[in-house]
Structure 1
Amino acid sequence: MRQINRLVYFYLNDNFWFVTLCNRIRGHQPPAPKKEKQVVCIGLSGSGKSTALALIAGEPIKEIQSTNGFHVKDVILSDCILNVKEIGGSEKIRKYWRHYYGGAQGVIFMVDGTTNEQELETARVAMFDALKDPQLCDLPILLLVTHQDMENARSASEVAELWNVREFYEDSVMEYGSSIKNIEQLKEAFSAFASILLHGVVGPTNVNVDI
């Protein structure tokens, strides 16, 4: 009886490995892990960084508070995972931004489309100063203009034109508008940006989200 059990065991064990080998030959392999890209997300306080990242990550956006210091959010897309390091945007934190740039492969800069001219200029200076840093100056950039559901919001193309981003960054920058009321368009912006990070393929570079 023991000998029969042993024979059954060896038969099943050998059969398992045989089936496993056949599946591999046929291409029935476990899916490869998604590639991960390191992204730094900056912008003035109130620009909507925390809210946008929570929304696209499928997290509740109620009681979102401004970021002090930084935190990392994993944005899972169809073809990759963006490890987004969001850095607080208050005046006292902005002078330390450069200490968090290490390892970045792309830059997301968010600006409130409803902000006044003075704040818009402050945001412009903050972005251009950041992009002068040797750790960021050659990286792809996503300029995300938020609060597009508001009547007085500037579009992404308006902000890009006011800031002359094409003159300085040519094809390395893409601008999108966004709103918390349109998650699909927000995903589209992140997916297009991820495509650049993965393949160097430039997607739509001037897209504004209309609600």
Structure 2
Amino acid sequence: MRVVVADDMMLVRSGLARLLSDAGIEVAGEAGDADELLRLVALEEPDVAIVDIRMPPGHKDEGLVAARQIRDRYPATAVVLLSQHLEARYAQRLLADQPAGLGYLLKERVSDIAVLVDALRRVAERECVLDPTIVARLMERRRPGSPLTGLTPREREILALMAEGRSNSAIAAELAISERTVEAASAQLFRKLGLEPSVDVNRRVLAVLTALRG
């Protein structure tokens, strides 16, 4: 797997690049701002771009804007967004358009490099990976009449873990239930959300998108 790392703080991006290299991930380049990131992605065509949301010059949402451009121009490149703070609205803005192949993690979470490496592998496989804190915040914001209101507490737990990018076996281990029970509950929640089986869509990604929209 080849990745690029974008963060305006040199020590952060260099340290992250070193940890990824030590974990067996090829770091194709580092960028200090959004423009440099876009040039790097165009040149290297990485599997994944790791992008800090707040970047120069305004330190607002330049990284998010760049991520959207990457998703539009280079659909083969997945994106993992990093944020210092919980900013659920940013997750909603990007994930509502293109949830597959996208991750959103708090920076404190990637202090455990295994968490980041797992997220990179999942988004490269076109899954959606969200930080558990962000998932919890979004799941709390259910609108009146939302399809989520028809889910049982167990089904909501499973959907939240899906949003974190957990596999069925990982969900089963987390909830101390059998994998078959997870599969049955997942099938039920898909039906409640109106997601019929199809070879053309990933129902897990669509279910996560439904959760984000509330």
Using the size of structure 1 for normalisation, the TM-score is 0.36
Return the index of the structure with the highest Cα Rg.
Answer: 1
Specify which structure has the higher proportion of helix.
2
More strand by percentage: 1
TM-score after normalising by structure 2? 0.36
| Structure with more relative contact order (C-alpha pairs < 8 Å, separation 6 or more) | 1
